[in-house]
Chains A and B, each alone.
Chain A
Amino acid sequence: MNIAWIIVLPLLGVIAPLLANPTRRNQVAWITAVLPFAALLITLYHAPAILAGEVVQQTWYWIPQIGLTLSFRMDGLALLFTLLILGIGLLIILYARYYLSSKDPMGRFYSYLILFMAAMLGIVNSGNLLQMWAFWELTSISSFLLIGFWSSTGKARKGARMALTITGAGGLALLAGILLIGKVVGSLELEAVLNSGRLLVEHQWYPVILALVLIGAFTKSAQFPFHFWLPHAMSAPTPVSAYLHSATMVKAGIFLLARMFPVLSGHDAWFVTVSLVGLATLLLGAYTALFKHDLKGLLAYSTISHLGLITLLLGMGTELAAVAALFHIVNHAVFKASLFMGVGIIDHETGTRDMRQINGLFKYMPHTAVLCIVAALSMAGVPLLNGFLSKEMFFAETLEQSAIGALSWLIPLLATIAGALSVAYSLRFIHDVFFNGEPKGLKKTPHEPPRYMRIPVEVLVALCILVGIFPALLVGDLLKSAGVAVLGGTLPYIPLYIWHGFNLPLLMSALALAGGIGIYARRKVLFQFQSHFKEVDANERFDAWLYQVITFIRRIEALIDKRSLQYYLAWLSVALLILLAAPLLNLSLVGDNVVITPLTAEVWAGTALIAIAALATVVNNRRRLFAALLISIVGLGVSLAFARFSAPDLALTQISVEVITTILLLLALFFLPQTTPKESKPGRLLRDIGLAGIFGGIMATLTYAMLTRPIETISDYFLANSKTGGGGTNVVNVILVDFRGFDTFGEITVLGIAALGIYKLTAGMRLFLPATNEDGLPWSRDKYPLILKQVSQSILPLALLISAYIFLRGHNLPGGGFIAGLITAIAIVQQYIGHGNDWIQKRFYANYVGFIAAGLSIALLTGLGSWLWQKPFLTSWFDYFTWPVFGKFELASAMLFDLGVYLTVVGAAMLILAKLGQLTVVEPYSEKED
């Protein structure tokens, strides 16, 4: 099985929960779990090979020239994280089924959760850094949706916004860092980057790259000084906190550090920054956790502190420290997720998370209590539990430290203090919640949760104990292969035992345990001491800071943005002129070996026609009706030019479009003022004439330079294959419906979208319909002229016949779907003009949106049809048949495609004109402009 499925299946799973019947909650949960479970099976299928040291890869090239590939890569480190993400994720799905109330939209919740899961899997299994970054951002977005899930509360919204801002900004820094890495290494493929050795460390950009990558990692993993978003993210539903904020998302930053460890760590800057930030976070988190009355607040700060511990381990740079970091990632995920779930149960059963109210719960829910107590003891690092093992390794490593020279003895000391604090807050959690008298002021009597809600907690707590007793058996291989991925080939001996004999780390553990008990016993003093400090509300600070940033940006924006289209367009033209003119400076006006064609009389006449009409349009642009007539003369001139220079298809198209455009402009003038006021100052006029003059000059030069150079064309292929391959002699049409059919499909789609946009714009329009024109003359309310009525009606069949003829012959002679569609549209519009909207609607109900839909569907299905014969999209087919009477004729799949084009063009043109025309029938009102 391809490892890409590990990411793709959960991605598909995003829609699964939405398909289930939302009232049947078990069904929703089951359907949600299926695809991640399949992904877990695939992971397990690959696990033996990866544990044996293999790296499984799957790469699809997209634009390899600029390093864009879709690439998945699973090594030991990725495997470790994948198992965490999928394993804990599945438990969370089960847990959330019972946690969410029947009022919560469960499908939506699961959908977000699976989106997050897929994004997380994408991060750890990406073989390309840019791709990893895309998934990184996806976790930020999906976590925003999850934190803000209860969006009706302001806290949830604020917490979500803060998390998104901080991690999003970090993501941008990371992107910059990744791009720099790509520049230095010459590739964004992870394999190439990891094999680049000391290239990055010795490069002059190393400090910048390191800073950017670390900002990305520290923001994501809530390291000091970016840690403040995590406690606010606790407004998320508890399954989210258990999943994102203990086991997975906050570990993404740590993952990044581990991933980049081989190529970024070999430098003092890494050791000092990472270990000091980790140490600061460790202490700050552990200390603050002690004072939180909110259970989730306590766990949040404890998480911050443990993340600091892992960061510190990675910062130490020794091999064993890195392995200890990996071990603690697993252990922390297991005990912290179970604790969060336990807290969720308590919250669920008592209605509060305030430890001053929740007391003595052991009596009410002994089963849950035991689970929570074991997990909390693991958090405190008590022997025989998994937390103890990695903490021992951590203590042992701090003793080996020499990063800060003679002051290095501080690190084990501070680590022991942090350990004592962590024992203290764990103790507080256990004692305050489950013992310490009776609950105070609870709204309901707590009792055990539903049976299945406890199962995920039981599984994780069992893991705490089993890993704590049989570490080598359960996680030994996993840690080894992950360690190889982080450290490269060599791996130190990993001492995964419970008992190492009486040594210094054990003494530190004992000290921490005793110290922790001491701190907790004297907690009243500490609480009193802490009450002297004013509590800082991170939310308020953050809001104030955000406000300053926004004000600053608004000020800059006001400088460059005048909110004026004229202003934008003028600058755009200036930029355009510079871009166009610059290359012309190095170009000779006339190319080599050219034959200049002599000017003939008809070209003279045509040029004069176009030039005079265009100039007249400009001069008379304020007399709008007149200008509309003049511009149609320009269009006529252009169609004549097409006809003159061997482009009958273009001439036909242009002339039909001219007719429709003129009708459109006349209709538009009904709703717009009839004249344009004089408002440009002379200076503005001079500027615009100058800009326009230069632009015209450049365009003329460009055209002349182009026309006097020999061309190279790729059209010989089209000319040679049009008849044999496409079955038509009109090469232009064959290109449109066959060779470049996919482009045409895109173009009619644009046409359809434009028409629908117009439809939407006209819907609900508050009409501006003065009863008189600007000179005070009332609009004529004449009946439809009789002659026009009769003539247009009798012309209709003829016009439709012509359009059918033009359509049918299009493959071989000038014509085709575009032109036939325009002609049909003109024929129908003529009926509207001659008879009015009401008359038409009584006789002919046309759903023009339906035309567009039918046209696009026919074109699409024709394209898809070729798949039935195992041919690529839009491969055409044609053959010749003989029928009696008719004789020999041709059938081609391209004609069906052209029919789609035809219907779309008719639908779009009619939707535009009929909609606008219908509006004119509304009774005008007599007020002037409001």
Chain B
Amino acid sequence: MEIAIAFCIGLLSACGLFLILRGRTYPVVLGLTLLTYAVNLFLFASGQLVKGQPPILGSGSSYTDPLPQALVLTAIVIGFAMTAFVVILAIRARADLGNDHVDGKSKPKDITKEVEQ
């Protein structure tokens, strides 16, 4: 099972980084979201992954580590706030600059054609 978790986190990180390096705001937002998933899962996994031992006292005989859960819970909410901020920033940037490139300027020449040739 460990290998599956490691694989998931690795893949999510890779996808996240790849999208963050793209040139338009929207893929960067998606990339940040994927990275958030990866980081949250990683933090969560640091408390060991066990089945059926929720940290609710009285629900069983032993409990999983509650601390990473508390950390991740606030991280999820703050992650949302940050995603929202970037989204609005992207919208504002497009409104003010007329394009949605992360550098704030469309490339002078159209690279699309070069690629398709």
Contact = CB atoms under 8 A, between A and B. Distances in A.
Interface in B98-117: 98-100, 102-103, 107, 111-112, 114-116
11 contacts: A570-B21, A603-B1, A672-B91, A672-B100, A676-B22, A682-B115, A696-B17, A701-B6, A755-B84, A758-B88, A762-B88
A300 B53 CA distance: 78
A885 to B, nearest CB: 25
| Dominant secondary structure of chain A at its interface with chain B | helix
B65 A688 contact: no
Contacts of A573: 17, 21
Given A624-B26, A668-B91, A695 B14 contact: yes
A566 B115 CA distance: 19
Contact of B26 (A641, A672, A743): A672
Given A677-B112, A695-B13, A732 B80 contact: no
Contact of A668 (B40, B47, B70, B90): B90
Given A569-B20, A679-B107, A818-B77, A641 B41 contact: yes
A599 interface: yes
Contact of A718 (B42, B67, B76): B67
Contacts of B63: 646, 719, 731
A692 interface: yes
Contacts of B107: 679
Interface in A667-718: 668-669, 671-673, 676-682, 688-689, 691-693, 695-704, 706-708, 711, 713-715, 718
Contact of A642 (B13, B20, B44, B70): B44
Given A607-B4, A672-B25, A680-B23, A703 B9 contact: yes
A732 B12 contact: no
Given A570-B21, A732-B73, A699 B9 contact: yes
A140 B102 CA distance: 39
Contacts of A679: 23, 107, 111-112, 115
Contact of A646 (B37, B38, B54, B80): B54
Interface string B25-52: 1110110011001101110111111111
Given A617-B15, A638-B37, A768-B95, A566 B49 contact: no
B66 A645 contact: no
Given A600-B1, A703-B42, A569 B14 contact: no
Interface in A570-619: 570, 573, 596-600, 603-604, 606-607, 610-611, 614-615, 617-618
Contacts of A713: 47, 65, 67
Nearest to A704: B6
Interface string B84-98: 110111111011101
B92 to A, nearest CB: 5
Most interface-central of A565, A691, A766 (chain B CB within 10 A): A565
A740 to B, nearest CB: 7
A475 B66 CA distance: 68
Given A617-B34, A699-B42, A671 B94 contact: yes
A645 B89 contact: no
Contacts of B103: 563-566
A646 B44 contact: no
A634 B11 CA distance: 11
A740 B70 contact: yes
Contacts of A627: 26-27, 30
A696 B11 contact: yes
B6 A678 contact: no
A692 B44 contact: no
Interface string A644-660: 11111110011001001
A757 interface: yes
Contacts of B81: 750-751, 754-755, 908, 912
Contacts of A681: 111, 114-115
A648 B54 contact: yes
Contacts of A908: 81
A176 interface: no
Given A646-B50, A707-B2, A653 B98 contact: no
Contacts of A708: 2
A561 to B, nearest CB: 12
Given A615-B15, A678-B115, A704 B57 contact: no
A767 interface: yes
Given A647-B64, A672-B94, 5 more contacts: A635-B33, A695-B13, A707-B6, A731-B66, A743-B74
A288 to B, nearest CB: 52
A610 B8 contact: yes
B104 to A, nearest CB: 8
A814 B30 CA distance: 29
A641 B111 CA distance: 41
3 A-B pairs with the lowest CB-CB distances in the bound complex, closest first: A696-B14, A700-B10, A692-B18
Contacts of B53: 646
Interface in A616-633: 617-618, 621-622, 624, 627-628, 631
Nearest to A736: B70
Contacts of A600: 1
Contacts of A916: 88, 91
A747 B71 CA distance: 10
Contacts of A648: 54, 56
A673 B54 contact: no
Contacts of A664: 83-84, 87
A719 to B, nearest CB: 6
Nearest to A614: B15
Nearest to A638: B37
A506 B23 CA distance: 81
A761 interface: yes
A621 B70 contact: no
A70 interface: no
Contacts of B23: 566, 679-680
A634 B21 contact: no
Given A641-B41, A688-B18, A678 B112 contact: yes
Contact of A751 (B20, B70, B77): B77
Nearest to B87: A668
Contacts of A678: 111-112, 115-116
A573 B78 CA distance: 23
B113 to A, nearest CB: 10
Interface string A476-495: 00000000000000000000
A618 B45 CA distance: 24
Most interface-central of B42, B54, B114 (chain A CB within 10 A): B54
Contacts of B40: 638
Most interface-central of B47, B84, B100, B102 (chain A CB within 10 A): B84
Contact of A707 (B5, B83, B87): B5
Contacts of B67: 713-715, 718, 735
A648 B55 CA distance: 9
A242 to B, nearest CB: 50
A908 B84 CA distance: 10
